[in-house]
Chain A
Amino acid sequence: MAADPIASSPASAPADDIVVDVRDAHYSISGRAVFEGVTLTARRGQITAVMGPSGTGKTTLLRLITAQVYADRGQVNVWGQDVARLNSRQVFAMRRRMGMLFQNGALLTDLDVFENVAFPLREHTDLPENLIRNLVLTKLQAVGLRGAAELMPAELSGGMSRRVALARAIVMDPEMLIYDEPFVGLDPIGLGVILRLIQKMNEALGITSIVVSHDVHELASIAHQSYLLADGRVVAAGTPAELGRSESPNVRQFMSGAADGPVAFHYPAPDYAAQLLDQAGS
């Protein structure tokens, strides 16, 4: 399938503006192809949305960017470095410049909220205790959970866990934040809070953000640049408004939430009537 023509829209920006540059990445898990030539870029200070139906490998894309897995073919460049060529020390150095928000928060269950946020500071710095305390409280204040500092992760709601995880992700002042399905399972209030926080982190701190999600309308309100993944490729790219105007059947189905279209409602199966009438099969 050919990419939508609008895919080439942001070609004019200078090259050093590009933080993440995925070029023709191929990746397969146990023989099943997840990506067959994905190309996308994320620019400094922008919110880049990666959308797509469930099971299109959106999370896998984040694993490629964070060097948890490597592309079989093609290149993944982050801050101009090919992640496949980094040794483990360099990978850790690269990861210290980024923060990641996991789908379920991934807080460390044996530490309370305060210690969870303090964790990267304690591991990577020798800051005095009162400075750590102030930093942690500042970040918790930013996500509105300074009062929850002494709670354990098990006592938090889904939305609160994600906000604590966000505080933890920004405590080292990263240059880039990666959000993996930040809206899944949240009530409208929690969703609104996370949405506003993502925008605030981007605007106030100038953090480059990559948001992976299938919540089209939430993302459309904050993203500068969007990519739509399907069938292992980027099938459309552009600003949310451009995607909304797209005539591509893939984009139309996804944006409008139609049950059937290029992404079929039915999982591949033998002919329905033939299977029902097939007595031998019963």
Chain B
Amino acid sequence: MSGADGFFLDGLRRIGSVAVFQFRLLVQCGPAFARPGLIVLQVYNAGARSLIIIMLSGTFTGMVLGLQGFDLLQRFGSEDALGVAAALGMLKELGPVLTALLFAGRAGTALTSEIGLMRATDQLTAMQIMAVDPLRYVVAPRFLGGVIAMPLLTAVFCAVGLFGAQLVGVQMMGVDAGSFWSQMQSSVELRDVNEGIIKSVVFGITLSLIAVHEGYHSEPTAAGVGLATTRTVVASSVLTLLLDYILTAAFL
């Protein structure tokens, strides 16, 4: 078999494995709601514990957006439109995408290595021997926690980011606060907000699935868990940007 064939087959096998895993996981998501405490704990782990990095990154991203936007709009004498430009850029693109990338690095890796280590230390096998399905007890709550946390984090990122843009545009560069906010209010439509929400939900499902899948199927060794964590970050980042393009094209 040539290298290209092997690569293709391997890729196909991986997609098949993820699809089967997703089906089994979805079947267990319903029963997982019988233990809401486990899901809340994972929303806390994936969401609340990512808040600081999300808020810091959001602020700086918004400040850069404010600065660049001001520089660009000033050339056309339309710096009053900074509020709209910042809001659209933040809600439609930067918010969902950067949150997803940060999520992959912060929460995705944590999920993969945690589940991978549970596999390596026989905890998942022990559950199976105790007649408890680890998909229901371990994987489904973590998956659902990630899916719930991502849109919430995106919302926080956008809100903090707009504050950052306002900080630079209005407070430092002297754009009129009234026109900054009023133009934003009149020009940003519900479908712009929806685009960001749908993107964040899609990213949340995709990235959480990748993270738990890689962890669940990692080799039960130190090197195996490390490799799985790397794969989570790489696959999450690439898929986020690919899906972002597809979703953007679909919305236009």
Contacts and interface: CB of A to CB of B under 8 A. Distances in A.
Interface of A: 66, 68, 92-93, 95-96, 98-100, 102-104, 106-109, 119-120, 123-124, 165, 168, 172
B163 interface: no
Contacts of B130: 95-96, 119-120, 123, 168, 172
A100 B137 CA distance: 19
B36 to A, nearest CB: 14
Nearest to A165: B126
A100 B131 contact: no
Contacts of B132: 119-120, 123-124
A99 B128 CA distance: 11
B248 interface: no
Contacts of A96: 130-131
Contacts of B118: 108-109
Please indicate which of the listed interface residues A99, A108, A109, A165 has the most CB atoms of chain B within 10 Å of its own CB. A108
Contact of A106 (B125, B131, B133): B125
Interface residues of B, number: 14
B131 A102 contact: no
Contact of A123 (B121, B122, B129, B137): B137
A194 to B, nearest CB: 17
A107 B109 CA distance: 22
Contact of A102 (B126, B133, B137): B126
A102 B125 CA distance: 9
B185 interface: no
A231 to B, nearest CB: 26
A72 to B, nearest CB: 21
A60 to B, nearest CB: 13
21 contacts: A68-B125, A68-B128, A92-B131, A92-B133, A95-B129, A95-B131, A100-B129, A103-B122, A104-B122, A106-B122, A107-B126, A108-B118, A108-B123, A109-B121, A109-B123, A120-B130, A120-B131, A120-B132, A123-B131, A124-B131, A172-B130
B156 to A, nearest CB: 26
A172 B129 CA distance: 12
Contacts of A68: 125, 128-129
A106 B128 contact: no
Contacts of A95: 128-131
A110 to B, nearest CB: 9
Contact of B129 (A93, A98, A109, A124): A98
A93 B132 CA distance: 11
A238 B128 CA distance: 32
Interface string B8-33: 00000000000000000000000000
Instruction: List the 7 closest A-B pairs by CB distance, nearest first.
Output: A106-B122, A106-B126, A92-B131, A95-B131, A100-B129, A96-B131, A102-B122
Contacts of A107: 123, 126
B121 A100 contact: no
A66 B123 CA distance: 15
Nearest to B120: A104
Nearest to A98: B129
A109 B128 CA distance: 16
